[in-house]
Amino acid sequence: MGEVKSDIEIARGAAMRPIAEVAAGLGIPEEALHHFGRWIAKIDFDFIDRLADRPDGKLVLVTAISPTPAGEGKTTTTVGLGDALNRIGRKTAICLREPSLGPCFGLKGGAAGGGHAQVVPMENINLHFTGDFHAIGAANNLLAAMIDNHVHWSNGLGIDTRRITWRRVVDMNDRALRRITVGLGGVGNGFAREDGFDITVASEVMAVFCLARDLADLEARLGRMIVARTRDREPVLARDLGAAGAMTVLLRDALMPNLVQTLENNPAFVHGGPFANIAHGCNSVIATRTALKLADFVVTEAGFGADLGAEKFFDIKCRKADLEPAVAVIVATVRALKMHGGVARENLGAENVEALEKGLANLERHVLNLRKFGVPSVVAINRFTTDTAAEHETIRRFCHDELGIESFVCSHWAEGSAGAEELARHVVELCEAPRARDGRGFRFLYPDEMPLWDKMRTIATELYGASDIIADKKVRAQFREFEAAGYGHFPICVAKTQYSFSTDPELRGAPTGHVVPIRELRLSGGAEFLVVICGEIMTMPGLPRRPAAERIRIDAQGRVEGLF
């Protein structure tokens, strides 16, 4: 066996096509492209507007079991499946989120897929890309500056500085910025108050950006964002400060979807990037809707496990954007399932069918959860070299006999599209099959008119296996206040650990009977959802003990090393 190449080495060996040629394959003319070099382009709004009357292609969601340190490979599978669908003659586009610098320099070291299932140019996508995240951070922080400036000069809106809820952001994991004090140093620096930073992907500007249909919708949503309260506890909106127009100017070019390609030269839209454990975890509506007008199949992903990413994709993104997914692909690995079955990370390379069978409870919970949305599903077993035939057969038999769905061992990491061809053919079959036997088809987990508290309880009991939710008196009162203020129709966006169905990251598998504690509520008036923060989840992550940044450098040839 030859030496295994790293992701970045494979990406460097790609025979990329000029992005204009990739775009032409989707029917996008040269004049509709805004180029960022030879390999990256943004798609013009005028061209996107002309697509409105075209029919939509089939939307395929890639989600996963609850993530573990063993790895699942959701983005890699999304790319591999998209390539495989093109390989079997189905015109397919891929829709992904943009990587955040925080995880790239923290744990991941890169987030553009892996092996022979990547989007390229990998270094550009992982590092700054087209500047979208910087524009989002600038717009967020412009609003923060305008709030403090308003208070400094006149405070004509009567903002109570104790009730300013808008936080600053930076696209980096920096725990020291979670809580800060601003306005120190004298009267010329404004009023001293406690403030804090979130990571850029947790900003409501990111959520608004990813849910906006066009520039007009973007500006309207930005204007509806709640930034503070008065002494009478009346909300102060971004539009009250006159900020929405300037923020939209900063975001104008960023809102155009980014087009890149896979290693096999197939089109991929990489746009937007909220995390699913603290936001709604989907790429932009404008990218997804554009892809659906241009391709027969669109493969997209939602962040982390299906309990977070898929639920928010269905209940938030599909609800807001009038999307109807055709199929869900659940990514699992033998290694991750064994970890859910109690095996320590250092022992995952050894065959352990007993632990695997125990860990299958996590996969089962996700499969059963997806059925509650009326979406047909299939399991993609992302193959690792340490897997054994007995372990693969255990998963296949369980899926077929116990869950009534198919599973496919996929080797797209090593073989590219050829390694996911069988999965692709089954996805096409599911997409083209008659609708659900019950006649209901795709559906949301809860209706708009359900009270906010009951929506959260429904998510916790129906999807997490919890017995109930709890919150202190102050949080319960906030639920009632939001209902009375006219926000009761908003969907719920749960912020919790991605590693467990519970709020305890160490509780793997498929726990039941636990109680979900609600710590805090954040009303996102522009994104039009209620963020419910559960457990000890942080909206500003910290770097690990040995961050990936320690391995990232420029080599003697001027090339980036350490992204993988």
Q: How many CB atoms lie within 10 A of CB 321?
A: 19
Counted residue by residue, the chain has a size of 564
Handedness of CA 332, 336, 338, 339 (dihedral sign): negative
Cis amide prior to 121 (ω within 30 degrees): yes
Closest CA to 311 of 9, 34, 63: 63
DSSP 63-81: EESS--TT---HHHHHHHH
Using CB atoms within 10 A of its CB, is residue 181 exposed (0-12), middle (13-18) or buried (19+)?
exposed
State the Cα–Cα distance between residues 20 and 38, nearest whole angstrom.
8
* CB environment 293-312: b (16+ within 10 A), e (fewer): bbbbbbbbbbbbbbbbbbbb
Contacts by 111-115, CB closer than 8 A, 24 or more apart: 111/75, 112/7, 112/11, 112/75, 113/7, 113/75, 113/76, 113/78, 113/79, 113/80, 113/262, 114/7, 114/73, 114/75, 114/76, 114/413, 114/564, 115/7, 115/10, 115/76, 115/412, 115/413, 115/414
End-to-end CA distance of the chain, in Å? 21
Sequence-distant (≥ 6) Cβ neighbours of residue 222 within 8 angstroms: 139, 205, 208, 238, 239, 243, 244, 247, 248, 526
**Rounded (10°) angle between helices 204-211 and 215-223:** 150
333, 338, 341, 343: CA torsion to nearest 10: -140
CA distance 134 to 42: 16
Residue-wise DSSP of 344-398: -GGGTTS--HHHHHHHHHHHHHHHHHHHTTT--EEEEEE--TT--HHHHHHHHHI
| Nearest partner of 426 among 444, 401, 400, judged by Cα | 400
By the 8 A CB rule, do 99 and 111 touch? yes
Catalytic site positions: 74, 76, 97, 108, 276, 304, 384, 413
In whole angstroms, what is the distance from residue 191 CA to residue 137 CA? 23
Distance CA(211)–CA(529), nearest Å, equals: 11
**CA 302 – CA 214 distance, rounded (Å):** 21
Tokens of 379: 């399991």
